């Protein structure tokens, strides 16, 4: 059995992703970006990235349209395995 660290927000995250994908179709040029969401409390998957302006937070991978910047999909990094 695997433990989902995002079980409390999974339904909301899925709702947002479904809504993003239903409202927009990206063009042929997309990019994958690593973003940091600022977070100051404790989390088991809190990340530190010294190169980012926001050093501590939640790491999120985004798939977005290159021309408009519209986010089509997101993956929240919760650590290895």
Give the model's pLDDT for residue 70: 92
Model confidence pTM above 0.85: no
Give the model's pLDDT for residue 38: 92
- Flag residues of the chain having pLDDT under 70: 1-3, 81
Tokens representing 20? 């993003």
Q: Name the percent of the chain lying above pLDDT 90.
A: 51
| Burial status of residue 69 (CB atoms within 10 A of its CB: 0-12, 13-18, 19 or more) | exposed
User: What is the C-alpha radius of gyration for the chain, rounded to an integer number of angstroms?
Assistant: 14
d(CA 58, CA 64): 18
Give the model's pLDDT for residue 3: 65
What is the 8-class DSSP label of residue 9?
A: T
């Amino acid at each position: 059995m695997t433990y989902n660290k995002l079980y409390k927000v999974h339904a909301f995250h899925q709702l947002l992703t479904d809504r993003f994908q239903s409202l927009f179709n990206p063009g042929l040029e997309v990019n994958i970006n690593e973003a940091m969401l600022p977070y100051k409390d404790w989390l088991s998957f809190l990340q530190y990235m010294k190169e980012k302006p926001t050093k501590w937070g939640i790491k999120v991978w985004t798939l977005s349209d290159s021309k408009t910047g519209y986010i089509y999909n997101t993956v929240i990094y919760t650590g290895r395995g």
